[in-house]
Every structure is written in C-alpha cells, then in structure tokens.
C-alpha cells in the first residue's frame, strides 16, 4: 500500500507531480486562456464584489493560506487577511456581509476551522471551502468550494495537500484576475502556462532527493534549525520549519529573512544550520546579503537555489538546485526539497515519520 516506498510520507511527496495535475485537470486550459472551477463560476459575483478575502485555517493549511494571500493580492488587488482559525473564532472578529471567507483544510474535519466557518456564516459572510476529503464536515458546512485532488493523505505530516491547496488557490486568483482585468493579458497567459508545467518541475525538484539525504546526514544531530525566506517564500520557510519539528523533533523556526537582524540573528553560531530559500526570481540580492550576514557569524548555510546559480553557491555550505519558475509559483517548487530534507533527517533519527508522537492526522478537538 506504500507503493514500494518506506513510508507514506515519502510516497506522498513523490505523488505531487501527479496530484497537482489531477487538481488542475479539467479546470485549467492554458492555451485557450481558461481557468474555471464550478464553485467559483457559480459564485463569481460574490468573489468580484468582495471587499476583502479572509482566509482561515490551521497548521500547514494556514501556510498555504499565507502563500495565497501574496498571490491573490498580487494578481487581483483584493485585500486578503489570513488568520489561524483558533484565533479568529475567539476574538469577536470583524466580518462584513461582503467579505468572502476561504477555509482551507485537508481533512475537512479540523474543529477550530469548522467553528470559524460557523461564526463567519452567522455574521453573514460567504464561505468557500478548499478541502481534500470529499463529503467532509467542512465541505458540507461551507456555501461552496473547490476540492483539492491530492487523494488520501495518510502521513500525519502534510505534503501533497499543501501543494494542491496552493494549486487551487492560484487558480482562484487567476480566475478573479481575468474577470477583474488586474493582470495583463500576457502575464495571465504566462502564469497559466507556467502552472501547467509545474508538475514537470516538481518532478525535476524531486531529483534533489539524494542531495537532501546527503545534507540530512550532516545535520541530523542539530538541536535547532532556522529557515529563512522572503516574499512568496516566507510561508515556505514557516512550512519547512514545521515539517522538521513535527517529524524529527528538532526545534526549528521559520522567519522572513529580513527579520533576522531584529532578534534571531543572536542565535547564529557555528552550531546553527540555516536553511535559506534563495531562488533567482524575487528579492535575490536581498537574500544574498542575508546569507552574507549569517556567514559572517559562522552559521551553516543550506541554500535552495535555482539551477545554474553562481552567487549563493559561493557562499553557502550546501546547495540544493531546483528548476526555475516565476516568483509567484515558486513555493510549489521550493517546498519540495524541504519536505525531503525533513523526511531524511527524521528517518536518520529513528523517528516514526508517518505517525509522529503527540500528533493526530485530523484535529477534531480544539
Ligand atoms: C502539518 C499538519 C497540520 C495540519 C493542520 C490542519 O503537517 O498536518 O498542521 O495542516 O492540523 O489540518 P487540516 O488541513 O486537515 O485542517
């Protein structure tokens, strides 16, 4: 049932090219400029009149929400806020009838997310679900939605759910951008085409497996680890850190790279591995100077770079190469080597990768 893989997590990491394709199949037609999902088409007016989009979710799904915030704002100019469902429901949030709430949940059963949805409905908002499990509580409780087609996710650590959530949310952003005219025609077509080839690039990114294993062997005994990224890759840094802590029990923190100097840089010494997401597109020069700051304090740098990179390679202790894509779509690629790195570290530490201690696949209690 693990399809020849040692763990469900690894199998699910490797399924990503296929499930991303399954998620956009029938919805994305790059050559004809069509991107459509029934749940969005049926409620297009509500989305187009939204004064604001509020995203509620927990854990990895919340990280997908953060990526979506950057994408939706950039493509559609609709203001987006992302909240932990657990915070949202307990703070008398301001919700207006023309807010659109998007709830993201792999299992569709997360208690806090479900409660946040009920609250938003009571306050008159239109609630749209992005779920993986068909017929789940959240998919039934929301007014409309679009499923991810990741298939069953058995490993407790979420991997393919994350990338398929980003796929659906990117398609929503593109659909709204088309209707609102907030992207130029050429950008719109370019993003559609780039999204269509993401599965091949994820496949290519999976070739970093051996390299990730090599790096894992070097850092498996580290007590701490930092993850840094900027822009679209800041949420990827958070997600990389979450993956490492939940399956390997190494303490890890994700930070926006520029926040380093406001505190966390004090942690850096020769013992501290720092994973830096540094693709060529987007804030590259800024990330390079962040890397220099870490290096001058003797931190050990593991960098995720675009194939053919020169500058970061000279500075970093270890590099993992990934194929190039546009900045906005890069989280779908940059997240892959980070999943592999956590996986190998956890295996080498003898951890129960698929069922980490203290964790449940769906958190139906608050
Ligand atoms: C992390 C993880 C959790 C879930 C969170 C939300 O790998 O699996 O953080 O992402 O519990 O779960 P769903 O998406 O089912 O609502």
Q: Is 74 left (phi over 0), alpha (psi -120 to 50) or beta?
A: alpha
Q: Is the pLDDT of residue 356 over 90?
A: no
Tell me, using a 6 A CB cutoff, whether residue 107 lines ligand 1.
yes
Measured by CA distance, the residue closest to atom 3 of ligand 1 is 59
d(CA 292, CA 253): 19
Note the pLDDT tens digit of each residue in 222-258. 999 999 999 999 999 999 999 999 999 999 999 999 9
DSSP H helical ranges for the chain: 8-14, 16-24, 38-41, 44-48, 59-76, 85-88, 111-122, 137-141, 160-180, 185-196, 198-205, 209-219, 234-248, 284-295, 311-315, 331-348
Nearest atom within ligand 1 for CA of residue 60: 10
Residue length, the chain? 366
Tell me, using a 6 A CB cutoff, whether residue 106 lines ligand 1.
yes
Whole-angstrom Cα Rg for the chain: 20
Catalytic residues: 361
Report the pLDDT averaged over residues 159-166. Answer: 98
Strand partners, 301: 274
CB under 8 Å to 17, separation ≥6 — which residues?
199, 200, 202, 203, 206
pTM of the model: 0.97
Q: Is the pLDDT of residue 15 over 90?
A: yes
Note the pLDDT tens digit of each residue in 107-143. 999 999 999 999 999 999 999 999 999 999 999 999 9
Q: What is the pLDDT of residue 361?
A: 85
Taking a C-beta distance cutoff of 8 angstroms, is the pair 161, 132 a contact?
A: yes
Tell me, using a 6 A CB cutoff, whether residue 239 lines ligand 1.
no
Q: Is the pLDDT of residue 358 over 90?
A: no
Taking a C-beta distance cutoff of 8 angstroms, is the pair 324, 281 a contact?
A: yes
Q: Is 153 left (phi over 0), alpha (psi -120 to 50) or beta?
A: beta
Strand partners, 274: 226, 301
DSSP H helical ranges for 38-110: 38-41, 44-48, 59-76, 85-88
Spacing, Cα 189 to ligand 1 middle (Å): 32
Note the pLDDT tens digit of each residue in 53-110. 999 999 999 999 999 999 999 999 999 999 999 999 888 899 998 999 999 999 999 9
Note the pLDDT tens digit of each residue in 261-301. 898 888 999 999 999 999 998 889 999 999 999 999 999 99
């Amino acid at each position: 049932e693990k399809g020849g893989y040692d763990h469900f997590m690894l199998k699910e990491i490797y399924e990503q090219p296929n499930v991303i394709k399954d998620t956009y199949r029938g919805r994305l037609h790059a050559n004809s400029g069509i991107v459509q999902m029934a749940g969005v088409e049926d409620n297009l007016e509500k989305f187009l009149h939204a004064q604001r989009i509020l995203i509620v979710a927990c854990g990895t799904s919340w990280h997908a929400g953060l990526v979506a915030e950057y994408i939706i704002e950039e493509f559609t100019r609709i203001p987006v806020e992302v909240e932990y469902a657990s915070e949202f429901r307990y703070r008398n949030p301001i919700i207006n009838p023309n807010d659109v709430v998007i709830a993201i949940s792999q299992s569709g059963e997360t208690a806090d997310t479900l409660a946040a949805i009920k609250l938003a409905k009571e306050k008159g908002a239109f609630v749209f679900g992005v779920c993986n499990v068909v017929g789940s509580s959240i998919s039934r409780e929301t007014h409309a939605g679009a499923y991810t087609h990741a298939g069953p996710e058995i490993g407790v650590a979420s991997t393919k759910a994350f990338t398929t959530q980003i796929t659906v949310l990117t398609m929503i952003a593109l659909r709204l951008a088309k209707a609102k005219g907030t992207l130029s025609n050429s950008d719109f077509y370019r993003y559609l085409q780039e999204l269509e080839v993401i599965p091949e690039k994820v496949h290519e990114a999976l070739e970093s497996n051996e390299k990730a294993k090599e790096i894992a062997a070097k850092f498996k005994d580290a007590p701490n680890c930092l993850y840094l990224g900027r822009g679209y890759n800041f949420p990827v840094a958070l997600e990389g850190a979450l993956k490492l802590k939940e399956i390997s029990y190494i303490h890890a923190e994700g930070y926006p790279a520029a926040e380093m100097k406001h505190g966390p840089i004090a942690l850096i010494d020769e013992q501290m591995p720092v994973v830096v997401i540094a693709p060529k597109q987007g804030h590259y020069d800024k990330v390079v100077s962040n890397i220099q700051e870490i290096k001058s304090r003797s931190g050990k740098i593991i960098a995720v770079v675009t194939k053919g990179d020169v500058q970061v390679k000279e500075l970093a202790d270890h590099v993992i190469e990934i194929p190039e894509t546009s900045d906005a779509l890069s989280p779908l690629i940059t997240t892959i080597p980070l999943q592999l790195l956590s996986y190998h570290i956890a295996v080498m530490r003898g951890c129960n990768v698929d069922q980490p201690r203290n964790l449940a696949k769906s958190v139906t209690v608050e």
